Chain A
């Protein structure tokens, strides 16, 4: 009797779950459709429409996207730019947050003020002077330039995250290290930075997402160097040239999205905690 009542009480939850399950399927349907179209022949994309299963998987679409449309190269460019930018941003934001949180020096208040005032700066606002400066410095049309410019973009939130974390570490810890004869850099790299691992995880995830997905800056940085395109820019160029190649487009999109989706599934906890960490503090 009581078991039946309990089952009955859970019934609304199972109904809700069923509704959500259908919703989630519709939610990720565009991705299912994309993967399915990438394995269909050009004719099948149109004739088989909603049917997600292709006849024989047409791997030639991937070959076309990888070699002819050069998505192999674009993917490599994206990986290089993302990895380098993440490293630079993490190190520079950690150092800045540490110094601002643990040391009092002249100019500290000014730096804090400037950082907070520029917390939200839209990309469309700074792009023109940024391109002009990059061109004068010889950074335009190069991956190095793209990395440098992206590392210098607004990462104030990351600095503030490190700032908050280093603030909360008790003074005794650094003092003990100093008595042991550790210098400034040793204290930071050996004691403080390892302690800040949770923040580093958050900043890495957020920077990774924003850099991997960046579009505006890579777009204007590669106008005259198509070989330096990242996947997001390459995608726009691809349909500009092959508007009717649906299966090639789907293969190129799958190549571009698969690495980051796979990474997300494997490291899901860090992604979710990273994003949640941004709102909690």
Chain B
């Protein structure tokens, strides 16, 4: 707009501004109320003693934090959350890469069908899968134990979800199974970005299958490795649905990840302690934030090396 037509330009710009904010209103209201407010609100609530949504909170300073940090159960749930991430993410990211490379080859027969089968668990509801898995791993009549018994491996049946030594591992296994397909599709999308001509050229230059993989595919996939790992890490920190329905945090709290710990204090206790649970939630939020920040740094670092190459 030039200065020559200020009278005509003014109302139009005002109207545009009005529209801009009109378009933003739903997000500002909904996102503000149900995401931003809870993030900020957690901090305020974490400083209170508050025994239920109908009760009124009373300010008690940092007492909740002192108590949470002194609770061995909190640290145990923190360790379990970390363990979940450390076992599930590498298993998921590397195994899917391997399968994706095989499925990406045009010479592989039935590859579409395999992709569909491996992706299927992703679309199913986690909470329902968790319940079904309780039965699948049942020590007496579940199909897993029947198969093990039939093969003569464990005639007495293994109580996978009923003993603390195997419950976490089984849950992690089901988690990897459940979300395998999503990482697989990420990798397939990444592999699609490598043009076919590159493979052709490598073949003409006499590179074998392994040579192509080592010197062509892998370097091109590196930036994707970072992104896919980040997405998998974020996902592995949110396993509430699966854990609550498969084991309910048990047996003896051996699968109680932080989210379940928060849920137990806020919703499952006879006298809920919402302030205390908020304090645990804030600590969890800070931890996720820290992980996210490390990831951004890693992303920036890979971008820099890519820029130099």
Contact = CB atoms under 8 A, between A and B. Distances in A.
**Chains A and B form a bound pair:** yes
Interface of A: 10, 13-14, 16-17, 20-21, 24, 27-31, 33-34, 37, 45-46, 49-50, 88, 91-93, 95-96, 98-99, 103, 105, 111, 114-115, 118-133, 135, 148-149, 151-155, 159, 184-185, 188, 209, 212-213, 215-216, 220, 223, 231-233, 235-236, 238-239, 246, 249-250, 253, 256-257, 260-261, 263-265, 268, 271-272, 275-277, 279-280
Nearest to B107: A13
A185 B153 CA distance: 67
B259 A122 contact: yes
B118 to A, nearest CB: 6
Interface of B: 15-17, 19-20, 23-24, 26-39, 41-42, 45, 53, 99, 102, 105, 107-110, 113-129, 131-136, 141, 143, 146-147, 150, 177, 182, 185-186, 188-190, 192-193, 224, 227-228, 231, 234, 237-238, 240-241, 244-245, 258-259, 262-263, 266-267, 274, 277-278, 281-282, 284-285, 288, 292
A50 B118 contact: no
A96 B27 contact: yes
Given A96-B27, A184-B19, A50 B147 contact: yes
A95 B35 contact: no
With most chain B CB atoms within 10 A of its CB, the pick from A91, A149, A272 is A272
Contacts, number: 270
A279 B118 contact: no
A-B CB proximity, top 9 nearest: A152-B34, A129-B41, A152-B30, A126-B38, A124-B259, A276-B189, A232-B127, A129-B38, A24-B117
Contact of B146 (A13, A49, A119, A151): A49
A133 B237 contact: no
Contacts of A239: 131, 134
A249 B224 CA distance: 40
A124 B117 contact: no
A88 B277 CA distance: 31
B92 to A, nearest CB: 14
Contact of B108 (A17, A114, A115, A264): A17
B42 A125 contact: yes
30 contacts: A10-B107, A20-B99, A24-B114, A24-B117, A30-B133, A31-B120, A31-B124, A33-B136, A33-B143, A88-B30, A96-B23, A118-B36, A121-B288, A124-B284, A125-B282, A126-B39, A130-B34, A132-B41, A133-B33, A159-B27, A184-B15, A213-B124, A215-B127, A215-B245, A216-B241, A223-B267, A231-B125, A246-B135, A279-B224, A279-B228
A202 B49 CA distance: 43
A265 B112 CA distance: 12
Contacts of A99: 20, 23-24
Given A105-B20, A129-B41, A268-B116, A122 B238 contact: yes
A125 B39 contact: yes
Given A31-B120, A125-B285, A260-B124, A131 B53 contact: yes
Contacts of A21: 110, 114
Given A17-B108, A20-B102, 19 more contacts: A13-B109, A17-B110, A27-B177, A115-B31, A120-B234, A128-B278, A152-B35, A209-B122, A215-B240, A216-B263, A232-B128, A236-B245, A256-B128, A261-B123, A263-B123, A265-B116, A276-B186, A276-B192, A277-B189
